[in-house]
Structure 1
């Protein structure tokens, strides 16, 4: 059921758990689905010994996609009109992610949201905005 403007007010917060204990398998599956086989996401030896990171890490677009699903689950299918993010920290295997959408404006059949995704340590890994059509 789509979200209704009459049920929203500025400051309302919707929160959802995106993933608990992100697996390397999920990261590799995303590489296959997206066609992005950058070794930073798939090759532990390259990532640790050549690039100097502690481990492979998730694609930013994987985090964006999971956060986007939280938004569409909240506002309804085909309701998003804008969605943009900034990746603020890496997502590692084993991370648990939680996303929030905070209503910033409701007017003219549109709702605007600030969006944030954090890991299990409270570190922000994604920040952004969204806008969605809402029924009266």
Structure 2
């Protein structure tokens, strides 16, 4: 676990360095097993294409979880995340060869009382924004 970020060390506009998370089909199969979401659009290419998708896509909740991972890695304490929400704006397409890259960055958008901050996240895959209105309320040390 990294050192905890301190409230006094951040300001509105503080940028959280981008992280890139590689996603491959094995990640999707493991997530399907953990979540119970075995929709074939997440693991069967011919089915995904038949329903109009360009290829297999990552589970929305898996994509959202990577944003949560980004925040908890930054703050250094998973229990510090008090609220987290996103809107899904585009799927993360996961080709069989090479998988997909999900890049997430963040910025402190607001400082609140009680050592809380609002972090706005940006998540992109293949140059496309895949999450919108992605925000976390975090209590810092």
TM-score computed with the length of structure 1 as normaliser: 0.90
Q: 102, 120, 135: which one pairs with 1:114?
A: 120
Unaligned runs of 5+ in 2: none
- Structure 1 vs Structure 2 CA RMSD: 1.3
The corresponding residue for 1:2 is 4
1:76 is displaced (CA, Å) by: 2.3
Shift in CA distance, 120/55, structure 1 to aligned 2, threshold 3 Å: closer
What are the within-5 Å matches in structure 2 for residues 1-136 of structure 1?
1-20=3-22, 22-49=23-50, 51-77=51-77, 78-93=79-94, 94-108=99-113, 109-121=115-127, 123-127=128-132, 128-135=134-141
Q: Distance in 2 between matches of 1:63 and 1:40?
A: 15
1:46 is displaced (CA, Å) by: 1.6
Q: Distance in 2 between matches of 1:120 and 1:92?
A: 8
Q: Distance in 2 between matches of 1:18 and 1:80?
A: 20
Judge conservation of contact 2:110–2:118 (CA < 8 Å) in 1.
yes
| Structure 1 segments of 4+ aligned residues over 2 angstroms from their partners | 15-18
1:120 is displaced (CA, Å) by: 3.7
1:102 is displaced (CA, Å) by: 0.8
Deviation track 1:34-88 (CA, whole Å, cap 9, x = no partner) reads 1100111122222112x12221100011111111011001112210101001111
TM-score computed with the length of structure 2 as normaliser: 0.87
Q: Distance in 2 between matches of 1:11 and 1:17?
A: 18
Q: Distance in 2 between matches of 1:27 and 1:17?
A: 19
Q: How many residues align?
A: 132
1:107 is displaced (CA, Å) by: 2.8
Q: Distance in 2 between matches of 1:6 and 1:66?
A: 26
1:134 is displaced (CA, Å) by: 1.3
